[in-house]
Chains A and B, each alone.
Chain A
Amino acid sequence: MQWFLLLIIIIMNIGVLPLVNRVHPIIIGMPFFLFWYLLSMIVTPILSWWIYAIGKKKHDSDVRSAEK
């Protein structure tokens, strides 16, 4: 799952380039290309946090089972 999220991040930032490389539609005053990277700047840390949370859960349960 963690690797899958990383894959989504990479696709979002470079995989879809041919589709987002355009000026229109203009969203909140931003040309689409800029808007896309503004969006990615907000979405990617959320996905990173998700990766982190999965890892932390796994790590904690590892520690617990090691203690047992």
Chain B
Amino acid sequence: MTALVVTCLIVLAVIFVGFLAGRDKAARSSIEQWSIGGRNFGSLLVWFLVGADIYTAYAFLGMTGYAYSFGAPAFFSIAYAVMCFPIAYFIIPKIWRYASKHNLTTLADYARERFQSKLLGVCVAIVGIVFLIPYICLQLSGITGVVQVAGQGVFENPKAVGTIALIISFILVALYTFFSGLRAPAWTGVIKDLLVWIVLIGMIVTIPYIWFDGWGDMLHQVVTKYPEKLTLPGTSPNGMLNSFWFGTASFISALALFMWPHGATGALSAKSEDSVRKNTVFLSFYNILLFFVTLLGLIAFMVLPKHPEDPSFANFALLHLIDASYSNPIVQGVMFSTIALASLVPASIMVLAASNLVATNIVKDIFVPNISGEKQTLIARCFVFVITGLALLFGILFPNYLVQLQLEGVSGTAQLLPAIFLSLYWKNLATTPVLVGLISGIAFVFLNHFIFQLPGYDGFWGLIVNVVVVVILNLFFAHQAKENIRTNKMLANDK
């Protein structure tokens, strides 16, 4: 019980900081202020913000769960997290430059200006929103997990209490996002990231000594007892998660990372192009945590009881490991609150990014082109509640329908690559091929998932189809590309 009280107090204190972050009215004075903090964040704050974006509760719980269930395939996240930042170096600084010159706040804005096509902008926005909402639902699991594990033996029905805690905490987070805009997740993200570093380093240092004679002994024991867990395909069913899967999954995830609306939001909030560039080097430091946390999943496999019949046990393996390793309720409470915050803070950035896409790229671009800046900001802020509500509704009522969308989230957003990445380097890329490529790529992702079932990652095959379509069709649309280059103000300013 004490652990839960400590968890609640810390989470509430941090949410309060979120409100404090927006006490200056400037925080919500314009869409640029509210959605990307007025493009005024220094390198360090961007580091915390993008770090908060990527290293979420779902990442930590998901990776330990994967390692617990399958072993080595979980390390695809290391390969992915290591590759994503050098790749981003070639995408994000350029986008940032366009965005700051032309007052863009979303990737869909960039696509619209680059191709002078509102239709393409809307499609990019819709793809972002459709795959982001299920991803927000995934973040909810951090909260329910904490209450379920910490509430065992305290509440009669920890699942129901978890749902109530979930609803309350997300309403509070929606409120602070409405109120403070990106400044709220940025400053709460600083606290969350500091807690994540402290707590995870604490666990990495102590847990191997609680159960073994340190890391050396632990590794020795895995090697002798479970060597099959240490190479691909691990213990995945039918050897599905083999090297080909590992390679395609990590590569596509790395490419797709900054195609996510919330990834772009974090990067666009930077004050200068150089601070974006610097972060593609320094964000890599977080991977050290990810590496050892994944190893904790192997420890969880060795020391916790096996529950093959209950898949949700694997998802919360890290929480069960905390519960089993530490007896001091205050230590437990701090750790649980860290996991809870690691699900609330990223969710806030995601909700904000999705709301901005609705207000800017759907409402403004399509329905009310001459909307005032004030109204646009207000609409974006109000959509925070709609998006949060949808995420809660789907997450609580229809979790089963979401699974497919969640699985295909990365594959889906990866299909934006021609529109965002190729378009930066290929001036003669025309609108129609990109649009057709995007649609066929996404269609193929689902076709492959349900019908063809080619080995490897769905997004990989989708992207191949997508790029082939783009390259072939582009031959027939040379005039469209020329016309675009001739009339495009954004490209004309480009030296």
Do A56 and B277 contact each other (CB < 8 Å), given the known contacts A21-B232, A37-B78?
yes
Q: In the complex, which residues of chain B have a beta carbon less than 8 angstroms from the beta carbon of A29? A: 215-216, 219-220
Residues of A within 8 A of B246 (CB): 14, 17
Do A30 and B251 have beta carbons less than 8 Å apart? Answer: no
Please tell me if B288 contacts chain A, counting CB pairs below 8 Å: yes
* A2 CB to nearest B CB, Å: 8
- What CA separation (Å) do A37 and B493 show in the bound complex? 43
A38 close to B250 (CB less than 8 A): no
The residue on B at minimum CB distance from A55 is B277
Q: How far is the CA of A55 from the CA of B246 in the complex (A)?
A: 31
Bound-state Cα–Cα, A26 to B219, Å: 10
Q: Which of A14, A26, A33 is B250 in contact with, Cβ under 8 Å?
A: A14
Complexed CA–CA distance, A26 and B222 (Å):
12
A48 to B288, CA, bound (A): 16
Given contacts A10-B83, A21-B231, contact A34 B75 (CB under 8 A): yes
**Minimum CB–CB distance for A32 against chain B, Å:** 9
User: Given the interface contacts A31-B219, A31-B223, A31-B230, does A44 sit within 8 Å of B247 by beta carbon?
Assistant: no
Partner of B222, one of A3, A5, A31: A31
Contact B232 A44 (CB under 8 A): no
The tally of residues in B whose CB lies under 8 Å from a CB in A reads: 37
**A26-47 with Cβ < 8 A to chain B:** 26, 29-31, 33-34, 37-38, 40-41, 44-45, 47
Of the listed stretches B2-10, B41-49, B84-92, B165-173, chain A binds B84-92
Q: How far is the CB of B244 from chain A (nearest CB, A)?
A: 9
Bound CA–CA A55/B276 (angstroms):
12
Pick from B78, B247, B278: contact of A52, CB under 8 Å: B278
**Residue numbers in B under 8 Å from A44 (CB-CB):** 82-83, 86, 284
**The residue from A6, A21, A38, A47 contacting B243, defined by CB atoms under 8 A apart:** A21
Most chain B CB atoms below 10 A, which of A18, A22, A29, A47:
A29
Q: Count how many chain A residues have C-beta atoms less than 8 Å from C-beta atoms of the other chain.
A: 32
Tell me the nearest residue of chain A to B246, going by C-beta: A17
Most buried by B among A2, A13, A26, A49: A13
B291, A17: Cβ atoms closer than 8 Å = no
Q: How far is the CB of A57 from chain B (nearest CB, A)?
A: 12
B82 contact set on A, CB distance < 8 A: 9, 13, 37, 40-41, 44
Tell me the chain B residues, 152-166 only, with Cβ under 8 Å from chain A: none
For residue B26, CB closer than 8 A to chain A, the reply is no
A8 CB to closest chain B CB (Å) equals 10
Q: Tell whether A34 pairs with B83 under 8 Å between CB atoms, given A17-B247, A52-B89.
A: no
Contact in complex: A40, B79 (CB < 8 Å): yes
Q: Mark out the residues of chain B between 39 and 93 whose CB falls within 8 Å of any chain A CB in the assembled complex.
A: 72, 75, 78-79, 82-83, 85-87, 89-90
Evaluate contact between A6 and B247: CB separation under 8 angstroms. Answer: no
Known A-B contacts A21-B231, A21-B243; the reply to A13 vs B284 at CB < 8 A is: no
Q: Which residues of A contact B72 (CB under 8 A)?
A: 21, 33-34
Is B285 close to A, CB under 8 A? yes
Name B79's contact: one of A13, A18, A51 (CB within 8 Å).
A13
- Min Cβ gap A65→B in Å is 11
Decide: A13 and B83 in contact? CB cutoff 8 A: yes
CA separation between A6 and B83, bound complex, in Å? 9
Chain B residue with Cβ nearest A44: B82
Report how far A10 CA is from B82 CA in the complex, Å. 9
A63 to B284, CA, bound (A): 28
- Known interface pairs A45-B284, A52-B89. Does A9 touch B83 (Cβ–Cβ under 8 Å)? yes
Q: Which residue of B lies closest to A45 (CB)?
A: B284
Complexed CA–CA distance, A56 and B278 (Å): 10
Q: List the interface of chain A (C-beta within 8 A of B).
A: 2-3, 5-6, 9-10, 13-14, 17-18, 21-23, 26, 29-31, 33-34, 37-38, 40-41, 44-45, 47-49, 51-52, 55-56
**Can you add 15 more A-B contacts, CB < 8 Å, to A14-B247, A31-B222?**
A6-B86, A6-B90, A9-B82, A17-B247, A21-B72, A31-B223, A33-B75, A34-B230, A37-B75, A37-B82, A40-B79, A41-B287, A45-B284, A48-B89, A52-B280
B positions within 8 Å CB-CB of A: 72, 75, 78-79, 82-83, 85-87, 89-90, 215-216, 219-220, 222-223, 227, 230-232, 243, 246-247, 250-251, 274, 277-278, 280-281, 284-285, 287-288, 291, 295
Considering the complex of A and B, which 9 residue pairs feature the smallest CB-CB distances, nearest first?
A45-B284, A14-B247, A31-B230, A13-B79, A17-B243, A48-B86, A44-B82, A29-B216, A48-B281
| Between-chain CB contacts (< 8 Å), 13 pairs | A5-B86, A21-B72, A22-B231, A29-B215, A33-B230, A37-B78, A37-B82, A41-B291, A48-B89, A51-B89, A52-B278, A52-B280, A55-B277
